[in-house]
Amino acid sequence: HQSRTMAQASNADETETAELAFHGVEYVVSVSSFNGDMLSIEVEQKQEGLRWRGDFTSRYIEDITTKTGNFKKFGVFHKMLVAAVVEESESVFIDLLTYADLEALKNKRQGGAAPARTTSAKQNNKRYLILTYAAEYDRVHYPLPLLFEDQPSVESLNATVARLKRENARLAATAGVGKGDSSEIGAENARLRDENEQLRQKVRQLRRDLSKAEKSATAGGVGAVELSAVRGSTDGAFASSASGEQVDHLQAELKAVNKELRVVRRERDDLSRQLQQKETELANVEASKKRMLRSKQRELDQAVEEAGRRRETERELRIKVKDLTTQCDGLERRLRSGGGWG
């Protein structure tokens, strides 16, 4: 799963952002370059909002490429990293590892299990973005350590808020998708109900005609005509008589209509089941989207609240800095004044 955006950060020359999945967990990965000699990588876990960051100078980048035995200039390395993030090249790709993952990978390369090492909480919190360059006959890994951001900056929180707003807008825009099929089935079902009613009316008219024919046959004194009780059944059969041609014709037409009616009923029942199934699926999708929207809204509210707290803390610190600066200026003036008296 990947979505790509291009942005000009406040101080960055260029920022590339993509949503990627590592080991079944979704992350937002951002790569920024500064003045052509500084690289910044930010990784945010989408579900929990945890963040890691690493800032690397051009000298550091070129040093680690030298150590791998496959030297790359800073500009080339930056292009390789961006291509891996946006998945534009098959020869470069990235992975996100914990400290334990990295140690296990090193031990595997060395051909055996190394003795267990105790790791600090700081090491456990670190992540390593591994840029892999797959050459024709070789594969080179460039590890980039990322530190856990226990207290993200206001800029980072604002970026998270902006991303959550975009996701909320996208989810709200797609919340109504899928209703077309349900409405079409509903219209077809209504048409079949109308057709069914018309057939019922036709059956009732045929029964009235049969009743008239029966009365006409008995009133004309044409022998005894024995008729089955058909007034409550759509499949009734009538006994023949000398004047029964009209009755036979109406009976045959009634049977044909009843057959057509049964077919229409089956179609109606099938469509009703399909409609119910579609409505159930749609209700499940809408419920899932609403749950996701509520979750994203909670994340957004928390991020906005956290950003507000950060801004308030920043404002208080600026006031303290201003007060301390004023006190320092006063002390300097007093010292200079005391020096003059001496």
Do residues 24 and 17 touch, judged by C-beta distance below 8 A? no
Flag whether the pTM goes above 0.85. no
**Residue type for position 338:** G
CA distance 46 to 166: 13
Counting as low any pLDDT under 70, the low residues of the chain are: 1-12, 112-123, 153, 156, 172, 174-186, 214-244, 339-342
User: What pLDDT score was predicted for residue 175?
Assistant: 61
Torsion (CA) 110, 114, 118, 122 in degrees, nearest 10 = 10
User: Which pLDDT belongs to residue 224?
Assistant: 42
Give the model's pLDDT for residue 1.
Answer: 42
Q: Is 51 in contact with 163 (CB distance < 8 Å)?
A: no
Separation between Cα atoms, residue 35 and residue 17, nearest integer Å: 18
Return the pLDDT at 222. Answer: 42
- The pLDDT score that the predictor gives to residue 54 is 95
How many whole angstroms separate alpha carbon 302 and alpha carbon 193?
52
Q: Which two tokens stand for residue 22?
A: 């590592």
User: Tokens 């680690």 appear where?
Assistant: 64
Calculate the CA dihedral of residues 305, 311, 314, 319 and round it to 10 degrees.
Answer: -120
Identity of residue 32: S
Q: DSSP secondary-structure letter at 242? A: T
- Structural contact between residues 64 and 142, judged by C-beta atoms closer than 8 angstroms: yes
Question: Given this model, what pLDDT does residue 276 score?
Answer: 82
pLDDT reported for residue 226: 43
Rounded CA gap, 319 and 175, in Å? 46
pLDDT, residue 218, reads 61
